[in-house]
Chain A
Amino acid sequence: MTRWFEDITLNEAFPLGDHTFSAEEIIRFATLYDPQYFHTDPELAKHSHFGGLIASGWHTVSVGHRKMVDALFAEEERLRGLGQEPGVSGPSPGVNAMDFKAPVRPGDTVTYTLTVTDKRPSNSIPGWGLLFNQITAVNQRGELVYESHLVGFSKLRDYVMPLRLRLLLAITKVPVLSKLIRRAS
């Protein structure tokens, strides 16, 4: 969420919008990234236990990611509109769990929701915090399509670099000393 780490509320459902999957885009994604017959060939897919074409799980997840990015940008716009400086989100270190629950067929509309379930300052990157995000995807019949638990970086607004780190950073700017530090570490 492009709010500052400090302003992010936990366990609040944040709607990300929906997406209707066409057969054309299901086949296009699967041809590039998941070319199994039930994702690429509507005729052969009839022989599978799905009984027809279904989207690759990675496709439905990638669309969910796009929905989240769009929501971040919209939130950024909203905050700027209020005269506030938006927060900064960074790359993600990983995904704890991803469970595909129901297949997505051509014409299905999937609705995505983001909930931040926990947050803490990063141990490895000073000035950044970690967000524990849950994204759920539900189809037009109310069936759960997938549930995921992801980790994301978010910049701290109120971070003040400790004196020790500021000194270390200053030392690395002196060429001879930086060489010594690199050799020692």
Chain B
Amino acid sequence: MGAVLLIAAKDLRQRLRDRSALVLCIVAPLAISFLMSSAFAGAEDLHVTVVVADEDGGEVAAALVAVLGSDELADLLTVEEATDRSAAAAAVDDGDADAGLVIPFGFSEAATGGGAAELEVLARSDRSLSASVVRSIAEGFYAEVEATRTAVGTALAVGAPLEDLEGLAARARAAPDALAVAAGELGGRELDLISYYAPGMAIFFALFAVGFTARSWWLEAAQGTLDRMRAAPIDPRAVLAGKVLSVFVYTVASLGTVAAATSFAFGAHWGPAPAVAAIVVAMAVAGTALTALVIALTRTEQQADGLASLLTFALALLGGSFIFVGTAPALLRRLAVATPNGWALRAITDLSTGAPASTAVTPVLAILAQSAAIAIAAAAIARRRAET
């Protein structure tokens, strides 16, 4: 055991002196998480200033302006008024407003009389999100007007008195929706993107430790230090054990650091610490098994570099580090659970949305089982190579 620890400590010392390794396993995931956090923070705090040009002046137009300025939308919208379309367009062009809404002359009459009138949303090309928000609200209002018109028309068609038109419209607007979609959540908290991509990126970059160590194995073989270690009075298996132990420590340190930093600095939710720790340890075990597999399958530093890179990117892609697997096609969702990192990310995602710590048990067992299968395959390949 002493030789294993000694070799692992030596490898870690070398890794610490290799700044590129530190950058890849700690600085890069933190930096990318920070960038994503900043980008997503902008989306979550979206507020749109909309300038409205009411060229109609009618009752329905006034109702639309009232909807835009309602208390329910106060956090999202600030409404400013313009005298006409050209004033609204100028405000948008100058950047004084994020979007503009032009209510054309005849809008109210068209809404109540069955004619056609088109609302116009103004926006610069770099404010498409703001324009989408305004358009969605306007479309929602339009849909309600259309529903009221349809209800009143239907009532008149079945013999309702024409004199009670106002009352019919009021009752149609007040009627509760017959159908509704309720938002259900499996966990107690909605998954925010930083809580998905922070572990996704952390796992992706931690997988680079596989490549570092596999390359280092073949580099040592080429420079003779591997033979020098094996010439010492130690169990020859201790050399490989020491090497892969360094991957284990490195992965735990990398994932642990990124988890702590993104939680405190960016507010990412990773879930209960003991469960996350179990997942991190399981992923570190998977890293050691993958390293042994790459070493078993290659013969040179260049081969190890190529295979480890391929493996890292394939696992990250399939496991969901780059894309949100929950919304991916069924095939990709099935492939994700064929990877240890896919299980890990799935478990952290569940934990981050408030699932209990026991949720991590199955993923951890799955990761360990996959690691055992990979290690057995590596041992079989290595044995066959040794015989030939």
Asked if chains A and B come from one complex, the reply is no
Which A residues are within 8 Å of any B CB, using their own CB? Answer: none
B residues contacting A by CB (< 8 A) are none
